[in-house]
């Protein structure tokens, strides 16, 4: 039970940090392209699965 709670805490912290970085990016970068930023963010998060699949071969 404690492991599950710890896992959920760190996952929620990761989401909060990602949202904070998006808010900061909106304030720091003047002409931010949101679609490009969000697509790049999703691609970066999904690349880990490709690395695991490549490592398995």
Instruction: Mention every residue, 6+ apart, whose C-beta is less than 8 A from residue 22.
Output: 37
| Mean of pLDDT over the chain | 88
Domain boundaries, the chain: 2-56
pTM score, whole prediction:
0.62
* Pick from 6-10, 12-16, 23-27, 45-49: least confident: 45-49
Phi-psi region of 21 (alpha: psi -120 to 50; beta: other; left: phi over 0): alpha
Q: In the structure, what pLDDT confidence band is assigned to residue 56 with cuts at 50, 70 and 90?
A: confident
- Mean per-residue pLDDT, 1-27: 90
**Mean per-residue pLDDT, 18-31:** 90
* Residue, of 31 and 55, whose pLDDT is higher: 31
């Amino acid at each position: 039970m404690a492991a599950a709670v710890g896992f959920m805490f760190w996952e929620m912290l990761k989401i909060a940090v990602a949202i904070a970085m998006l808010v900061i990016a909106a304030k720091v970068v003047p002409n931010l392209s949101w679609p490009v930023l969000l697509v790049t963010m999703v691609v970066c998060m999904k690349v880990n699965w490709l690395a695991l699949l490549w490592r398995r071969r």
